Amino acid sequence: MKFRVCNGKCGYGTTTVLQDVTFTVESGEVLCLLGPNGTGKTTLFKSILGLLKIQAGSIELDGKDLLTLSRAQIARMIGYIPQAHNPPFPFKVLDVILMGRTAHLGVFASPGKEDLKIAEEILDTLNIRHLRNKIYTKISGGEKQLVMIARALTQKPLMLVMDEPTAALDFGNQLLVLSHIRRLADSGLGIVMASHFPDHAFLYSTKVILLKSGGLYAVGTPAEVITEQNLERLYGVNVKIVNTGVQNSRDKSEGREIQVCVPVLHAS
């Protein structure tokens, strides 16, 4: 799988929000999108999902131009995981997950046995079988986020796009969701996620995009891009990046230590 945005110009109507957007995501990569509020993360997301037509440039998935594809064709390749929210009706978790099969069904069809089987498998993959018959509107935020991931997985996509998957989750659920994301990438999916936490990027991503108003500020590995200098320029805050001395079990072979950002507070 190779997803490529080349010289993209993203925006609404005649206003352009982002220019010269160029990056790639491949199988197994986790691309983390960092940037202050209002720099165009949502705009970029909508463009990646084909919900917003790019004004110039190209977006390709495995060589196919996204703009020429139907919604169902896109949905069979890209799964979208929105921030968990409440739908107006109390659907069962299983029904919500089965909605992910829509792109594979005929116009007048409903999910059948085969679709149910796929959904059941994914319930097991994510360890959420116990949620199967619960009411989606009544489960916790962390559980909802997992159900959203399960729904996207039933689309059998090549790539997942996640809008701040850890927002509104408690500490344990953040790490749970992020480790699932990491595992999904290891199984061959390409992942794009927006985040507000450089620490998460250090922990789980292989590639980072920094957004500054108007365009991409930097693209590269977390270590290259998330620097004290860049964070100060982007967010206007003083940050020290510290090596913790702790190694992530999966990075042991590379001998990489976990890094974290520590804010330096000024005496006012």
Partner 1 sequence: MSRRISAEKYVEIIKDSIKEYGSDPQNEEQKLARKKIMLLALPVLTFLFSFPVGRYGIAPGELITILLAKILPIPHTWPSTLDTVVFQVRLPRIIAAMLVGAALSTAGAAYQGMFKNPLVSPDILGATAGAAFGAALGIYFNFGIAGIQLSSFVFGLLAVGLAYLVGGRIRHDPMLALVLAGILIGTIFSSSTSLLKFMADPYEKLPAITYWLLGSLSSIAPKDIWFIIGPMILGFGPLYLLRWRLNVLSMGEEEAKALGLETGRLRITVILCSTLVTAAAVSISGMIGFVGLVIPHLTRMIVGPDYKALIPASILLGSAYLVVVDDLARVLTTVEVPLGILTSVIGAPFFIYLILRSKGGWQ
Where does this chain bind partner 1 (CB under 8 A)?
46, 49, 51, 70-72, 74-76, 78-80, 82, 87-92, 95, 99-100, 102-103, 105, 107-111, 127, 130, 133-134, 137, 151, 155, 176, 179
Query: For residues 196 and 227, is the Cβ–Cβ distance under 8 A?
Result: no
| Residue 112 CB partners (closer than 8 Å, separation 6+) | none
Task: Name the amino acid, one letter, at 205.
Answer: S
User: Cβ 16 to partner 1, closest distance in Å?
Assistant: 18
User: Cβ 147 to partner 1, closest distance in Å?
Assistant: 12
Phi and psi of 168, rounded to 5°?
Answer: 70, 15
User: Cβ 7 to partner 1, closest distance in Å?
Assistant: 24
Nearer to partner 1, 88 or 245 (CB): 88
Phi and psi of 140, rounded to 5°?
Answer: -75, 170
Nearer to partner 1, 76 or 212 (CB): 76
User: Cβ 236 to partner 1, closest distance in Å?
Assistant: 31
Nearer to partner 1, 178 or 239 (CB): 178
Q: Which residue has the tokens 């982002």?
A: 18
User: Cβ 180 to partner 1, closest distance in Å?
Assistant: 9
Nearer to partner 1, 36 or 82 (CB): 82
Query: For residues 209 and 216, is the Cβ–Cβ distance under 8 A?
Result: yes
> DSSP secondary structure string, 252-268?
GGGTPEEEEEEEPPPP-
Question: What single DSSP character describes residue 110?
Answer: -
Nearer to partner 1, 165 or 198 (CB): 165
- Tell me the CB-side half-sphere exposure of residue 119, using CA atoms within 13 A: 24
